[in-house]
Structures are given as C-alpha cells and as structure tokens.
Amino acid sequence: MSFERRYGPWALVAGASEGLGLAFAHACAARGLHVVMVARRAEVLAERARELRARHGVEARVLALDLAAPGLAEAAGAIADELPIGLAIFDAAYAPRGELHALPLEDHLKAIDVNVRAPLVLSHVLGGAMRARGRGGIVVVSSVAGLRGTETLATYSATKAFGRVLAEGLYAELAPHGVDVLACLAGATRTPGYEATTARDVSPVMEPDVVARLTLDALGRGPVVVPGLANRAATVLLERLLPRRVAIALIGRSTRGLQG
C-alpha cells in the first residue's frame, strides 16, 4: 500500500513552524499528505503553510496553540472530527537547560506538559480515531539524550525516555489495529533550537530533512528508528556496551561540551 493510502489523507505535525517539525511537514507533503501544522506562532505558521502548499500542491491548515496549555484534548478532538488524520507526528519539545535546582520548578513542569502530557493526549485522541479506522501512524520524536539520564538536562532526558517507551508500548498495542507507531531517537540535528543552544558541535550534526525522511521510511518497520550511523553507534555504546554509570558520565560530559 502506498504511503498516502496507509497514512493519509491528512498528517498532523506538532511543532511544525521550524526545525525538524517543519522538515516532517515537508516530508509528509512530499509523500502526498495534506498537513495540519501546529505551533504557537500563528504568523510564522501561516507563512510556512503558504510555502508548503506552493511547493507540494497539498492542502495545509494551521493550528496556533500552546501544547502546554489546557484544552489540548478538545482542540485535537475538534480537528480529528473535521479531518481524517492518518499520521500524527509529535515533534515539539521544551528543554530546560541547567541543573535541576538552578531552575524554577515551573520550567521543569512545563517540560512535562510539552514533552509528556501533550504527546500522551495527542496519541490518545488522534490514535483513538486511527484505531477505530483500522489504519494510521504515530511518530514520537525522542532523542539519544533519553537513553540515559543526562546532567544539566535531567528533566528533558527523562521526558525523552518517556516518549520512546510510550511509543514502544503503543507500537505493540496498536499494531493489531493497523496503526504503526514509531519513536525517532534523533541525535544532534541542525535546527534553530540546536543552533540557539549549542556553543560547538561535539558529534556529527544531521540535517532535519534527512532525519525526517529516514524516520518516515522507517514507519511500519519496527518500534524505534535511530537516524544516522554515528547516532546508532552512540546508542549501542550507551545502551549495551558501557556500564550505566560510565554511560551517564559520558553523556553528561558530551552535553556540557555542547553548552561550551
């Protein structure tokens, strides 16, 4: 079955105004899907939607909302009632940077709202409609930073572990209902978010369009994809070869290196 028939006619991308989410929106459109683009900045989204329509000849809707705000389930329910969403991609994230006690508790709770609560809500609402329809796909963008606890990114890395493990569980639950679920363990990716928070590259940095393409290619082939050879090697090292405390030290050193 073609990608469009399996996961169309509409994709919803949460975090679609820039970076990896925007690349996912284009990758979906290039495969013939119409796209609902979700992010907070309405004007940026409107411009990105115009570009998407012009480049791919598909329809694009924008939904300007804060994924951390209450009312997400209702907003997702309304869009799912209106449009048959066959593919949901959860890309947006919030990463409080610094040691736990150097930041206000509210920052950490916001990361829970954006990175944990929102993908759970969207998986429940949009995935429920797919399950009833008997086909569809869900992608949760996680991170190699979620493989082990990461100092100065402890909350973020824990939320990324949640995303991966949620996707693995849903992969098993929804496969019998024709819905493919995939966690994307992205590594360093050249996005505005990465550029704004990184003093220097400490590992090969991938382009967002490559990460998006490899991820969509992997949908339906297993519960997890790690795009890029260097990221796959890092995953084997961190998960299988190194003792946990050594892996935690290594990932912490690398993260502090990124921050300069």
Ligand X SMILES: NC(=O)c1ccc[n+]([C@@H]2O[C@H](COP(=O)([O-])OP(=O)(O)OC[C@H]3O[C@@H](n4cnc5c(N)ncnc54)[C@H](OP(=O)(O)O)[C@@H]3O)[C@@H](O)[C@H]2O)c1
- Positions in the binding site for ligand X (CB under 6 A): 15-21, 39-41, 44, 66-68, 91-94, 114, 141, 143, 186-189, 191-194
Q: How far is the CB of 113 from ligand X (least distance, A)?
A: 8
Q: Which residue has the tokens 């919803």?
A: 12
* Token code pair at residue 36: 């609902």
* Token code pair at residue 88: 């949901």
Give whichever of 39 and 218 is closer to ligand X, judged by the CB atom.
39
194 is catalytic: no
Q: How far is the CB of 28 from ligand X (least distance, A)?
A: 15
The burial class, CB within 10 Å (0-12 / 13-18 / 19+), for 200 is exposed
Give whichever of 21 and 136 is closer to ligand X, judged by the CB atom.
21
Q: What is the dihedral of CA 229, 144, 7, 49, to 10 degrees?
A: -100
Please tell me which residue in 7, 156, 171, 194 is annotated as part of the active site. 156
d(CA 211, CA 74): 31
Q: How far is the CB of 19 from ligand X (least distance, A)?
A: 2
3-class state of residue 217 by DSSP: helix
Give whichever of 4 and 237 is closer to ligand X, judged by the CB atom.
237
**What residues are labeled active site?**
156
